Chain A
Amino acid sequence: SAVISQKPSRDICQRGTSLTIQCQVDSQVTMMFWYRQQPGQSLTLIATANQGSEATYESGFVIDKFPISRPNLTFSTLTVSNMSPEDSSIYLCSAPTGLSEAFFGQGTRLTVV
């Protein structure tokens, strides 16, 4: 199993600013993922955070808007840049353990005003 600590748990930000979300895993994991969960919607994958190389982004998400760092096998950050109210959402990091299950952080509830 894995325990994932994510912070901040929530934040209220001004439009045009950026927020960096941190995710720490208590064990080394090969892959980490970042999801967005908009109100009433399911989880949408933003990108795969790759250690030692650039993140791999899903269709509709770009590096300039959501830069990701993965400096080692236990840590990753997601930045939400130049925020607008449409970016208000819950952001979640995740790490899978083989095929059996994915572990998630508790999420960051972001409100952009």
Chain B
Amino acid sequence: SQKIEQNSEALNIQEGKTATLTCNYTNYSPAYLQWYRQDPGRGPVFLLLIRENEKEKRKERLKVTFDTTLKQSLFHITASQPADSATYLCASPYGNNRLAFGKGNQVVVIP
């Protein structure tokens, strides 16, 4: 069955450095992947969508890549700030607008 996986370990990073998160998928080929941010006690908030024919997408200090050969998406936060501390979720569609989510990665930016 199709799976979407994120290494659920927390990532502690120094302020100003780049945080890089990985999302892997198996047994299928999604047309696109989405990344969301979730803060404690809140619902996820959409950040970026990248399609299978796009190698890279950027939004301000965020960058997402999509490698269909490796079946992987990387999510980068450049020049990280303490306000970037949150859990980041990868999501993939699987029909009728449904989304499958990875477990998420908690990012902690240390001042």
Using a CB–CB cutoff of 8 Å, the interface residues on chain A facing chain B are 4, 6, 31, 33, 40-43, 45, 48, 56, 92, 94, 96, 99-107, 109
Contact = CB atoms under 8 A, between A and B. Distances in A.
Interface stretch (B12-20, B72-80, B98-106): B98-106
A31 B97 contact: yes
Contacts of A42: 89, 101-104
Contacts of B100: 45
Interface string B67-111: 000000000000000000000010101001111111110000000
Residue from A4, A40, A102, A107 having most chain B Cβ neighbours under 10 A? A102
Contacts of B102: 42
A41 B103 contact: yes
Given A42-B103, A92-B43, A107-B43, A101 B49 contact: yes
B34 A43 contact: no
A104 to B, nearest CB: 3
A50 to B, nearest CB: 10
B34 A101 contact: yes
Contact of B43 (A100, A101, A106): A106
Given A42-B104, A43-B89, A45-B100, A109 B46 contact: no
A102 B42 contact: no
Given A43-B101, A56-B96, A102-B99, 12 more contacts: A33-B97, A41-B103, A43-B89, A48-B98, A94-B99, A99-B32, A101-B46, A101-B49, A104-B45, A105-B43, A106-B43, A107-B42
Chain A interface SS verdict (over half): strand
Nearest to B31: A99
A56 B102 CA distance: 22
Given A100-B49, A101-B34, A101-B49, A45 B99 contact: yes
B98 A33 contact: yes
Nearest to B51: A99
Nearest to A30: B97
B100 to A, nearest CB: 7
Contacts of B46: 100-103
